């Protein structure tokens, strides 16, 4: 299982992250996050997972 992170948590490793949206359908999208920055808040988003 991939490590999970919360919005606004500090990014420890740069990379492409998968974000799983909560609710019906559980849609998924990917985003690039840079070490030292914070995971952006996502409307209805759940924690990101490192791919």
Query: What tens digit of pLDDT does each residue of 3-51 get?
Result: 888 888 999 999 999 887 766 566 788 889 999 999 887 665 555 544 4
Domain ranges of the chain: 4-50
Cβ–Cβ under 8 Å, residues 3 and 50? yes
* CA distances to 2, 3, 4 from 13, in Å: 13, 11, 13
| C-alpha–C-alpha distance, residues 12 and 31, integer Å | 15
pLDDT of res. 6: 83
Q: In what order do the strands lie in the sheet with 15-21?
A: 4-5, 45-50, 15-21, 28-33
Inform me whether the pLDDT recorded for 1 exceeds 70.
no
pTM for the full predicted model: 0.68
| The predicted structure's pLDDT at residue 29 | 85
pLDDT of residue 36: 97
Q: What is the pLDDT of residue 51?
A: 44
Report the distance separating Cα 1 and Cα 27, nearest Å. 18
């Amino acid at each position: 299982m991939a490590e999970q992170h919360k919005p606004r948590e500090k990014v420890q490793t740069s990379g492409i992250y998968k974000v799983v949206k909560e609710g019906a359908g559980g849609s998924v999208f990917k985003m690039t996050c840079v070490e030292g920055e914070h995971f952006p808040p996502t409307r209805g988003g759940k924690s990101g997972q490192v791919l």
